């Protein structure tokens, strides 16, 4: 069943190249769960199209299944490089394998790393007072434990 769903998913995502797969699973009792994302976001119609591409090509007379197609929520962690790419310019919170936590604006993304920049107030090297300093971190994907988009509420 998982192989069939994987093939149908691949075809559905080829029809809309702005969409990409984040995760999918098929449980022992044939509960199919699909999570997609898109370079320009995901609409309800995108979820419906992917759902239909799967549902209409599996015979319910032969296999009983349930299907859930959803988009990666804004509060969900970023899991694949393509998600980072679509979030350039947004503020991220990134936890690394070393238990470091960086919060900053996602400036660059490439095939191996992300680059964050942020400003902090630090004591002046000489004298009293503080000065604003620009910081940056280049983090390899393999070192990221969790990365989430920081949402601002006014």
State residue 76's pLDDT score.
Answer: 87
Q: Report the alpha-carbon distance of residue 146 to residue 101 in Å, rounded.
A: 9
Q: For the chain, what are the domain ranges? A: 2-71, 81-149
* CB burial readout 56-72, b (16+ within 10 A) else e: eebeeeeeebebebbbb
pLDDT tens digits, one per residue of 28-49: 999 999 999 999 889 999 999 9
CB 47 within 8 A of CB 33: no
State residue 82's pLDDT score.
Answer: 93
pTM for the model stands at 0.80
Q: What Cα–Cα distance (Å) separates residue 4 from each residue in 21, 32, 43?
A: 15, 11, 25
pLDDT tens digits, one per residue of 97-109: 999 999 999 999 9
Average model confidence (pLDDT) across the chain: 92
Q: From 3.30.365.10, 3.40.50.920, 3.30.300.20, 3.40.50.300, which CATH number describes the 2-71 domain?
A: 3.30.300.20
């Amino acid at each position: 069943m998982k192989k069939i769903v994987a093939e149908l998913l691949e075809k559905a995502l080829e029809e809309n190249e702005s969409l990409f797969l984040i995760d999918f699973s098929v449980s022992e009792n044939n509960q199919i769960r699909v999570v997609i994302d898109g370079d320009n976001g995901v609409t309800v119609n995108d979820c419906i199209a992917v759902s239909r591409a799967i549902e209409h090509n599996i015979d319910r007379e032969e296999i009983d299944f349930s299907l859930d197609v959803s988009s990666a929520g804004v509060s969900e962690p970023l899991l694949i490089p393509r998600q980072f790419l679509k979030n350039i310019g947004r503020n991220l919170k990134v936890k690394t394998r070393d238990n470091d936590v960086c919060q900053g604006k996602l400036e660059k993304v490439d095939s191996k790393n992300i680059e964050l920049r942020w400003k902090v107030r630090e004591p002046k090297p000489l004298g009293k007072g503080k000065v604003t300093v620009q910081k940056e971190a280049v983090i390899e994907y393999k070192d990221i434990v969790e990365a989430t988009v920081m949402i601002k509420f006014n």
